[in-house]
Amino acid sequence: MKNYSKIVSGTMTWGDWGKNLNVKEMTKLIENCFEIGINCFDHADIYGGYTTEFSFGKSFKESQISREKAKFITKCGIQYICEKSNYKVKHYEYSKKHIIDSTEKSLKNLKTDYIDLLLLHRPSPLLNPDDIAEVIEKFKKEGKVISFGVSNFNSNQVDLLSTKNLIEWNQIECSLTEPKYMFDGLLDYSIKNKIKIMAWSPLGSYFKLKNKANYRIKKTLQPLMEKYQASESQILLAWITKHPSKITPIVGSTSIERLKSSVNSFKIEMSTEDWFSLLEARNGFKIP
C-alpha cells in the first residue's frame, strides 16, 4: 500500500476508553501526527463504546488537513455491550447487512466518502466468505472501501477467506513478549501471499507486567540502549520491525513525544545477534 506511514496512530484510547480528548485536543494531536510523518489512523466502530470515530471525524474536519493526505483504517464485526447497544451477549456479526450498516456508519462518523482500509475485527466460526466477498466487491465498486483485510486471523482463517476475497492486510498482536505469530507460520504465510502486517500492542507486556521474562528482557536491553543510543521502547519496536514481513506497528499513545520516538525507532539497524539475544531473554533459554 502506497503512502502509508511506517507508524500507525491507534485511536482506541483517544476518547471515552482513555484520555477523553476534546475536539481541540484531538485536532491538535492529528496535526502533530502529520508534522512528524504519521498519516495513518487506526479505528474500530466499537472504540469508545461506538463514540470515538465520531469525535475523530469532527476533529479531523477542524484540522483542515486534506483527506487525500490521510489514511483511515476501521474495523467491524464485534458486537460490543455498552450504553449505545442493546446486546446481551458479546458476539461477532458478519452478515451482509451488518457489514454494510457498520461501514456506512463509520463513513458518516469519520465524515469521509471512503475508508482506506476496512478490516474484519475478529474471526468468527459463522463467517461466510461468499457474503464477505459480495459486500466488499460492492463497496469497492462504489469507491467506499479502497482496500480490505482482517484482524486477529490465523493463517488457516486468512486462507479460507482468501478463496473469495483479496486480503491485503492482517492486523495482529505482535511483540517481543507475544511473538507467537513469528513461529506458528502466520508471518511466513503472509510473506508468501504478499499480505501486509500491522501489529497492535507492539510493546507487549514489557511496561505492564513485572515478571521474570520482563526482568530478563530489561537486563538485556540495558547495554543495547547504550549501543544504539535508543530508549527501551525504540529497541522493542526495532525488534519486531526487523522481521522480513515488514511489520507496521500501531502505537496507541496520545503523547506526541512518544509517537515521535516511535517514528525514530526505524533509524535503528539491529544486528541479528542482538535480535536473538532479546528472544533468548524473553524465552529464558537458548534457541535449539
Q: Using one digit for the tens of pLDDT, what is the confidence trace for 214-258?
A: 999 999 999 999 999 999 999 999 999 999 999 999 999 999 999
Q: Convert the pLDDT of each residue in 175-216 to its tens digit.
A: 999 999 999 999 999 999 999 999 999 999 999 999 999 999
- 78-82, 100-104, 167-171, 184-188: which range is least confident on average? 78-82
Compute the average pLDDT of residues 264-277: 98
CA atoms of 10 and 13, how far apart (whole Å): 8
What percent of the chain is predicted at pLDDT more than 90? Answer: 97
Is residue 112 over pLDDT 90?
Answer: yes
Q: Convert the pLDDT of each residue in 8-33 to its tens digit.
A: 999 999 999 999 999 999 999 999 99
Q: Model's pTM, two decimal places?
A: 0.96
Compute the average pLDDT of residues 133-156: 97
Q: Please indicate whether residue 1 or residue 15 has the higher confidence score (pLDDT).
A: 15
Indicate which residues carry an active-site annotation: 47
Compute the average pLDDT of residues 158-182: 96
Side-chain half-sphere CA neighbours of 32 within 13 A: 15
> What are the grid coordinates assigned to 281, written together?
531473554
Task: Answer for the pair 155, 182: CB distance below 8 angstroms, yes or no.
Answer: no
Compute the average pLDDT of residues 107-114: 98
Q: Where are the domains of the chain?
A: 8-173
Q: Give the model's pLDDT for residue 110.
A: 98
Q: Convert the pLDDT of each residue in 145-160 to its tens digit.
A: 999 999 999 999 999 9
CATH of domain 8-173: 3.20.20.100
Q: Give the model's pLDDT for residue 2.
A: 66
Confidence of residue 141 (pLDDT cuts 50, 70, 90): very high
Q: Give the model's pLDDT for residue 201.
A: 98
Q: Give the model's pLDDT for residue 83.
A: 85
Q: Give the model's pLDDT for residue 56.
A: 98
